[in-house]
Chain A
Amino acid sequence: MPTIDCRNSSPLKEIVAVKSERSGGAGGSEGDSTFGKRRLTFDAAAGQDSPTSTPTKLKSLRGCRNSSPNSPLDGSKEDSGKRLPSLCRSPVKRLHDSVDRKQNWNPSDPGQMSAVKEALHVSTAPQTVVCREDEQKRILEFCKTCLEQEKAGSLYVCGCPGTGKSLSMEKVKQQVVDWARDEGLQPPNVITINCASLTNTTEIFSKIADKHQQKKKTSPLQHLRDIYSQKQQSSDSKMMVIIADELDYLITRDRAVLHDLFMLTTFQFSRCILIGIANAIDLADRFLPRLQSLNCKPLVVTFRAYSKDQILRILWERLMELPYIVFQSQALELCARKVAAASGDMRKALSVCRNAVEMLEAEMSKSSSSLSSSVGEATDQQTPPDLEVFKRQQNITVTFQVRIDHMAAALSKTFRSPVVDTIQSLPQHQQIILCSAAKFFRGKKKDTTIEELNKSYVGVCKSAQIPPVGILEFLSMCSVLSDQGLFKLVGQSRDDKLKSVTLKVDGSDITFALQGVRFFRNCLQ
């Protein structure tokens, strides 16, 4: 029984659950199996509708100029409401068919290569935002309620970076305006402010007041307060939706600005719907305690970090629009697992995929070795390859795809810190200094002076029968090491020897990096 994500109860997952129950154990020995395996069993069980149309033609280089996470999406105006149900009916089936019909990818064709890279770029916003339907629905419902009742309200969206907050907000913005127009209500004014671009935290009020056609006499905040405390004369005044991105830039020491902003929604005749976006989950509790006493705490919508399945699904959605197979499914699964385990950040996953594509490109330009050697090459990966599926896929697809070894290399480049490499490539005396520092700081000591370190260094050199360098060179080597971020030299004493030294890398990192040399191994035991 594959583990279903209870939190994300989108229609797709429900259908998946039903189907798996029917077909009984859809290859789910390892939790959620890959799309590849599931697709093969569903084909047997499903007696579905005819597949929907095949993916669209290739996009030109500047085709989706207007699409970005921060600009309105086109093509989703009319069928935004209708798209969701059709999505749940046949994405898996569509996936299977489109994969079957896809041709092989020719990486040496620059047009195809650039299309692939563009499909994987962070700035290309997809037509449909998948895996966030639940959160979008909640935000949309909230806005609808506020608009219908003509009441003010506040909402707080939080989540780690790269979880699709700004992207979803763009979509919801459009949906709200369309819905209001459909229902015959007055479509609201929408302003988006990125608080990181404000010079002064109080500028946010002037930006909001600008929309209200402020008279120049009072300060913006006062003006807004005045407007919202009186009943509006004209009956056709619009509601205002304020979306404040990166809200934590507004936090000052006395928290006045943030407070005033949220208090704007508490006035009797207030007409603004405030939506704040930030990373901290408990921003409302920590910085706005007074709101609770007034019983107007903002509603909190949390965008959780993406799980492995969600990442995999989003990647497949992006790649589905291309008419050829680019990645082997194991490679994508490896990427999704690793990124989900690390941070759940979608941008990282996309960047790793692009890196892997570039590695394939580099490999192709270097040599023209055949694929048969790739099976033997697959030795340094995180997950062992499934040899049967691998061979079967080899029979199906003949030419080049991004394989697991490319993906593993791209992942290690992204996730590995360069500390070990740097230490291994240091010159000999600097390595001896690091080794003596590691030995010195093994106990409870946290910092020491350069003079003490020099004594320890001379001792290590004597035991290796290498002549130690003089104090001047020792000082310059210590400053080079501190430049690189391995040491930290603190102290304003005039005499350089009395400056204090701390080690900034872990002792175990040093031990690991130097374990190839027998002398250091013995020394650091």
Chain B
Amino acid sequence: MGRDKEKEKQRQKRNPSEEVLNLLRSRLCNPNFIFRLFSDSPESNYSKLRFIISSSITEASNNSILLLGPRGSGKVAVLDLVLGDLLQEYPDAISVIKLNGLLHNDDISAFKEIARQLCVEHQLLFSKMASFDDNSQFMIAMLRECGLAHKTIAFVLDEFDLFAQGKQKLLYSLLDAMQSVTSQAVVIGVSCRMDADQLLEKRVRSRFSHRKLLFLPPSKEDIERLLDHLLALPLDSSLPHKYAAEFNGKLKATLADARFKQIIDTYLNSNFTVNHLMRFLFQAVSYMDLESGFLSLENFKTALSSIQRQPKMECIRDCSIAELYLLVCMRRLEVKEQNSYNFHSVMTEYKSIHDSFKTSDYYSRNVCLRAFEHLLQREIIRFTDTRGSSQSIDFRPVKLLISSAELHEGLKSYHSCPAMLLKLMDH
């Protein structure tokens, strides 16, 4: 046992980079850690949400709020953070009921789930045979009891827009119960649709308090702060101090590099939610060189190119010249408004090209047939009559599964593409 520990220690001394890798990866997968950074500023969503829920606890009032934002911007993460902190601060003063619009779409099952969770929280026996009426009476009675005991019930409704379909009975009963003084509850809806409150019926909307918290993607300064927070090593941990300081120095240099900023900008141009950024960072950290133990710019570049793969273009890159000729011929047929073609017509076109342009690559029909079969197997082209027929392969109609832009890009990046092909594509 002792020898194992010593071996472990020796291994760590030789290779602290593994430990660093573990540390960074676990940080990137932990939403609590990520969103803790934004929680100290008073303008942040964390503090606003916390203020509303804690005022409901301390002042014994009812509240309702909607959290809106695109997927992956951290709505549920921040909510969990706030609830966790409040549970620590006021133990036993809050109980959380979670419902999801995908699971509990139906009013009957929603009330059943509420009753079940209330029973679990308060250690009561739950009967599966209880009817809808019983469950709703139970919920109202529990709200009253908790109001008397000064305990707040927080209803978290995930996928709120899915609850707003149909007759909205659940929303109506919940929000109506909040109109009475005897209950002490908070209703928190989480949705990715920006117009979620327009979906509510007018009765329900009138009872809803119209508070919305928008989770907008972070600004550039916030992203820089976030990168620093996530990737910088703590200096007072079990890692050797010199190594950690050197790591942080190199990291700072990399982050300040203009090329790095360009990489981040290109990546975030299409989608800059926090979730998306985390995926990129995870890949980059995984590419970290364990020998040297430092993050470099190359890691980020590799991560970017591996995330932004274009599978169809890679397919084109692996094709032979004969296959490329066939694809270009099919494209030309499409341009000539001949939307259904088969191998026979493609060969005709190929022949006409050869006759008019006098290319040097002329393949025989058998070779072309083999190339055609390869294309079918790789799913770059497909038969249009999917029922399968007894016709031979020559005459069954096919269609292209890649667009002309992708074909064009693929040809341009082909390592030794005959210039003829590009010329053919353009006419």
User: Looking at chain B, what size class is its interface with the partner chain?
Assistant: 35 or more
- Alpha-carbon gap, A425 to B167, bound state (A): 33
Residue A427 lies at the interface, judged by CB distance under 8 Å to chain B: yes
Contact B61 A70 (CB under 8 A): no
- With A68-B179, A123-B180, A472-B310 as given contacts, are A114 and B59 in contact (CB-CB < 8 Å)? yes
From A160, A427, A504, contact of B271 by CB (8 A) = A427
Residues facing A in B287-319 (CB within 8 A) are: 308, 310-311, 313
Min CB–CB distance B113 → chain A (angstroms): 17
Contact B203 A428 (CB under 8 A): no
Residue B405 lies at the interface, judged by CB distance under 8 Å to chain A: yes
Contact A161 B217 (CB under 8 A): no
- With A69-B179, A480-B71 as given contacts, are A121 and B61 in contact (CB-CB < 8 Å)? yes
Q: Per-position contact with B for A443-472: 1 when CB-CB < 8 Å, else 0? A: 000000001000000100000000001111
Contact A61 B132 (CB under 8 A): no
Min CB–CB distance A176 → chain B (angstroms): 22
Closest to A421 in B: B214
Contact A366 B42 (CB under 8 A): yes
Chain B hits for A246, CB < 8 A: 203
Chain B hits for A365, CB < 8 A: 42
From A67, A425, A480, A484, contact of B181 by CB (8 A) = A67
User: Looking at chain A, what size class is its interface with the partner chain?
Assistant: 35 or more
Closest to A161 in B: B206
Contact A419 B406 (CB under 8 A): no
Residue A417 lies at the interface, judged by CB distance under 8 Å to chain B: yes
Contact A419 B70 (CB under 8 A): no
Chain B hits for A428, CB < 8 A: 269
- With A418-B194, A419-B195 as given contacts, are A69 and B180 in contact (CB-CB < 8 Å)? yes
Chain B hits for A427, CB < 8 A: 217, 268-272
Chain A hits for B58, CB < 8 A: 110, 114
Closest to B409 in A: A470
From A118, A194, A418, contact of B214 by CB (8 A) = A418
Chain B hits for A258, CB < 8 A: none
- With A351-B209, A418-B68, A480-B271 as given contacts, are A458 and B181 in contact (CB-CB < 8 Å)? no
Residue A11 lies at the interface, judged by CB distance under 8 Å to chain B: no
From A118, A199, A504, contact of B133 by CB (8 A) = A199
Q: Per-position contact with A for B187-209: 1 when CB-CB < 8 Å, else 0? A: 00000111110100011011101
- Alpha-carbon gap, A345 to B310, bound state (A): 54
- Alpha-carbon gap, A430 to B217, bound state (A): 13
Min CB–CB distance B130 → chain A (angstroms): 12
Residues facing B in A188-210 (CB within 8 A) are: 194, 196-197, 199
Residue A383 lies at the interface, judged by CB distance under 8 Å to chain B: no
Chain B hits for A123, CB < 8 A: 62, 178-181
Min CB–CB distance A6 → chain B (angstroms): 27
Contact B180 A71 (CB under 8 A): yes
Min CB–CB distance A432 → chain B (angstroms): 10
Contact A485 B180 (CB under 8 A): no
- Alpha-carbon gap, A319 to B97, bound state (A): 35
Residues facing A in B242-297 (CB within 8 A) are: 268-272
Chain A hits for B169, CB < 8 A: 196
Residue A348 lies at the interface, judged by CB distance under 8 Å to chain B: yes
- With A196-B173, A471-B406, A477-B270 as given contacts, are A355 and B194 in contact (CB-CB < 8 Å)? no
Across the A-B interface, give the 4 residue pairs with the lowest CB-CB distance, nearest first.
Answer: A161-B206, A485-B193, A68-B180, A425-B216
Known: A122-B207, A162-B206. 9 other contacts (CB 8 A): A122-B179, A124-B181, A196-B173, A279-B202, A355-B211, A413-B211, A451-B403, A480-B70, A504-B195
Q: Would you mind naming 23 contact pairs between A and B with Cβ atoms under 8 Å apart?
A: A68-B180, A68-B182, A71-B180, A117-B55, A123-B62, A123-B180, A161-B203, A196-B169, A197-B133, A199-B133, A345-B206, A347-B207, A348-B210, A418-B194, A418-B212, A427-B270, A451-B403, A472-B310, A473-B270, A480-B271, A483-B71, A484-B194, A485-B193
